[in-house]
Chain A
Amino acid sequence: MTEAANDSSGSESGHLSTRYWPATFEERGVVAPFTTPTLAFSRVRSDRDEALEILVPGMSGSTGIYVIAWPSVREMFRMSVHDRVLHEAIADAKATTPRAMRRCANQTAMTGLAGPDAIECSKAALEQEENERLLTNFYLINSVVDRLSSAPAKLTVAELSSPDGKRKVRQILDDIGRRIGASSEQIYASLEKWSDMIAPLGLPVMPHECRLRRLMKRLEAFRMNVDEWGRRSNADPDGMSFLTADVAKLTLDIGYPVIEEVDAYATDLSGSLASWRRTESAIGERVNRLSWLLDGWDHVLTIWDSVLESPIWEQVDAMEEIVRMLPLVPKKELERQAGDAWGDIENALRKFVKPMQSWQSGEVDIDLLLRVEQRRARAL
């Protein structure tokens, strides 16, 4: 299978690729939370010349993915004002990773151009992100204090932030540093870096689950729900829901071991800190992989959540939309998995994906735009 990027037989502004199954996360691109219905949850990536391009699936009567050069997007689509601003922000930041895209998305949402809900959801998401970072830091330091000091102790948040508490921690870190051959400053800096890296995931000992762990749980529930819906609704003779559940399952099967690996570093605190350079790069690589793996699923889940109580035809429409934007696990990730049984997935998808019509029409469907805005806000 040729990748979409190599299938460049079209015009300068864009071309059609009939390929669905990306080789790598970078080739799959990162979901850009546009609100213009035709562009909703398209993906952004760098081309071979490091310029940005956008991938829009199932457009213009085709069943392939349209690959469009970044500057042409504004000429080809009648974008919402929010999307014009997001388009500029993505270009300025060259946002081609989930983390960078998240930053652009929040920054643009805070303008209010996607409505008051987007502002509030963005504020709440940023606040939660910061809280999760602080909590992760607290639990990580507490784990170190509890398990690595000669006199195990548990600190409260108040103790940790008081001068006495900080002194106590410093003494404990000094003690640990002497044993593993590092200074307390180095250990402290490592723990800061460590908690920053794993903040989206948190630690298993935390009573609060952080964003990616929550997303995995939601994905698990979604997988069961769509499977159940497929069996009970009588509205899915083609089995779109089963395909979706299968892709979700594969994502979970790949994601859980990655989480276990990241958690394992916190189990072996002493070893992880002693070889911090290796630990740092290994944790960074895994959390990054998990972010990529789950990129796009929060949007899928909000689409489904929004129709859970809707009439059946809206659920069928939502399922068709979900299949169109399903975050497929790249081939390279599957190669790491034993027993790959996914050879026919591309053909299955081609059968299911319904083309979007009237993508260049002038009139914006206000209700559709608002629905996309709402989903986008909830997915922040």
Chain B
Amino acid sequence: MSTSPPDRSLDLLAGRVFDIPEPQFVDLVRALEARRLKLDQRATADAVLSRLRPRMSMARPPRRPTPQRLFCLPFEDLLYDPGTDRKAVGRIPRSAIGPIWALFAEHASPGVIEGTSAALKTAEPDDTAAILAAGGPLWTEGARVLSARDAAARKSADGRTKLRDALGGEPVLASLEDVTILLRIAPPILELRAALPPAPIEGIGRQGIAALVQALKTVAALDRTAVPYVIFVLMARLRDLGILGDLFEKLTEAGAGELLRAAGEQAGEAVVSQSEDRLVDVRNELADEDLPKADIARALGREVEALDRSARAVGGGRAFARRIDRVKGELGRVAREHVVTGSVEATLEAIAGLDDPMATADQEMQNLRAAEDRIVALRLCGRFSGDPETAKEISAAMKKIGSGLDARGQQLIARLEKNDAEVSVVDLYNTVRLVELVDGPDKADKLRLAGMNAMKG
């Protein structure tokens, strides 16, 4: 409908990041990266970082890759720093690179790494085509060598234990298979990586969907068991797994439904496994923060929603559903620890504070906010808590707070009827507000009307 020329104002605005002096720019990026680690600041940091990205790529001129960096390129998206000593499905701990590269280097055909090194020396650092060409033989050889070591180790239980110990533990051994498969399907994965927007992805356009469908089909033709890895690469780039559902719908419409279904089980494993890891992050983030209880409840609710959305996207059977429920139950327990426990006492104390005759208006407002925060947090937790114990505790807490408010309401009416100079309409409205949050508007309005009548005498 719009016929006016496209507005470029925001682009111009983004261009101003180039005016920031280099040292301050580096500090700014570092500070934003640090903020990304905090639950409540991640979105802001991501939004600002996305605007800074053009400058960031200039601030870090392309480095000449080493053979080891080039080796990692096909599985670069999956690399992460886990908060646990286990490995999430669909991700590769960064600490696995060293041992796997060492294993490859030890068994690679003579000359392959040297040849890659020589090719990289002659290629310009920003000549993507030359660099990718240099990687071809390395990835093929990598897939061959690692696959052979893995197969050899599988021949006996002892062999597998030995390989695990040589690599440094179970997470690295589990990563070995991922690395092998991704090296085997390196060309379509690299094409896909080039076609997808950089992380964190919030949505994918038609071209991205077409690239995904192409990657799924090409990988299926090469090795059908490797199809889930296309989804893992996609998942690793998403800002939030919650958008997986929308993307799967679009991919199905674009003709990749059957391949998605075939990869569903492993994608589901990845969703659960990464969500379990996310739980650890959430616990760490909450331990460092002193947030309002309602904000914590909202953040946990969002985690549950994202989990539900991604779980719906990948489908899965009863066992999968049970694992999802277990993660949700665990989130419920986090809610119990951080929000529910102690909430009755804290709420009733804040409500009692409303009657303090020495309190200033600011202190009264603070008490009202504290009581509201606790009640709202409880109600929000009640909506998503998958843990029966937590649900029971929330229900009991709400009942106790409700009883406290009932008593306060009755006293208030009696005092208003007696024309007590120490109570006012403000006390009435504060109580009505809290009753509404606990028991809903009908009961609260009855109290309001009773209070108004009492004041009229």
Contacts and interface: CB of A to CB of B under 8 A. Distances in A.
Contact of B442 (A78, A245, A311, A313): A78
Given A224-B10, A348-B1, A112 B368 contact: yes
B43 A309 contact: yes
Interface centre among B3, B6, B309, B433 (most CB of A within 10 A): B433
A113 B203 contact: no
Q: Kindly name the residue among A78, A234, A249, A370 whose own CB sees the greatest number of chain B CB atoms within 10 A.
A: A234
Given A78-B441, A309-B44, A313-B243, A243 B1 contact: yes
Contacts of B242: 311, 313
Given A80-B441, A246-B2, A313-B246, A235 B240 contact: no
Contacts of A245: 2
B9 A224 contact: yes
A344 interface: yes
B445 interface: yes
Interface string A59-96: 00000000000000000001111001100000000000
Interface in B421-439: 425-426, 429-430, 432-433, 436-437
B280 interface: no
Contacts of B440: 364
Contacts of A111: 425, 429
Interface stretch (B26-34, B64-72, B372-380): B372-380
A80 B436 CA distance: 8
B7 interface: yes
A239 B1 CA distance: 9
Contact of A79 (B7, B376, B441): B441
Interface string B376-405: 100110010000000000000000000000
A35 B7 CA distance: 35
A340 B296 CA distance: 50
A312 interface: yes
Q: Which of B240, B242, B440 has the most CB of A within 10 A?
A: B440
Interface in A219-257: 223-225, 227-228, 231, 233-235, 239, 242-243, 245-246, 249
B321 interface: no
Nearest to B41: A309
Nearest to A117: B369
B298 interface: yes
Contacts of A120: 365
Contacts of B294: 370
A126 B57 CA distance: 47
A234 B442 contact: no
Which of A84, A239, A313 has most B Cβ within 10 Å? A313
A196 to B, nearest CB: 30
Interface in A21-36: none
Given A112-B429, A112-B430, A115-B372, 4 more contacts: A78-B441, A78-B442, A239-B1, A309-B46
Contact of A341 (B3, B208, B243): B3
Contact of A312 (B203, B208, B379, B442): B203
Contacts of B359: none
A130 B4 CA distance: 39
B372 to A, nearest CB: 6
Interface in B310-347: none
Interface of B: 1-4, 6-7, 9-10, 43-44, 46-47, 202-206, 208, 239-240, 242-243, 246, 294, 298, 301-302, 306, 309, 365, 368-369, 372, 376, 379-380, 383, 425-426, 429-430, 432-433, 436-437, 440-442, 444-445, 448
A152 interface: no
A264 interface: no
A78 B444 CA distance: 12
Contact of B243 (A113, A227, A312): A312
Contacts, number: 102
A81 B433 contact: yes
A12 interface: no
Contacts of B433: 81, 112-113, 115
A1 interface: no
Interface of A, secondary structure class, is helix
Interface string A339-354: 0010011001000000
A308 to B, nearest CB: 7
A271 interface: no
A310 B302 CA distance: 10
Contacts of A249: 2, 4
A80 B188 CA distance: 56
B373 to A, nearest CB: 10
A119 B372 CA distance: 14
Nearest to B367: A116
22 contacts: A78-B442, A84-B445, A85-B448, A112-B368, A113-B429, A116-B368, A224-B10, A225-B10, A227-B7, A228-B10, A242-B2, A245-B2, A249-B4, A311-B242, A311-B302, A313-B242, A313-B246, A344-B1, A345-B1, A364-B440, A366-B380, A367-B301
Contact of B239 (A225, A231, A311, A367): A311
A81 B443 CA distance: 9
A366 B376 contact: yes
Tell me which of B306, B309, B436 has the highest count of chain A C-beta atoms within 10 A of its own C-beta.
Answer: B436
A370 B436 CA distance: 12
B224 to A, nearest CB: 29
B199 to A, nearest CB: 14
A311 B368 contact: no
A225 B426 CA distance: 41
Contacts of A310: 43
A109 to B, nearest CB: 11
A84 B243 contact: no
Interface string A289-314: 00000000000000000001111110
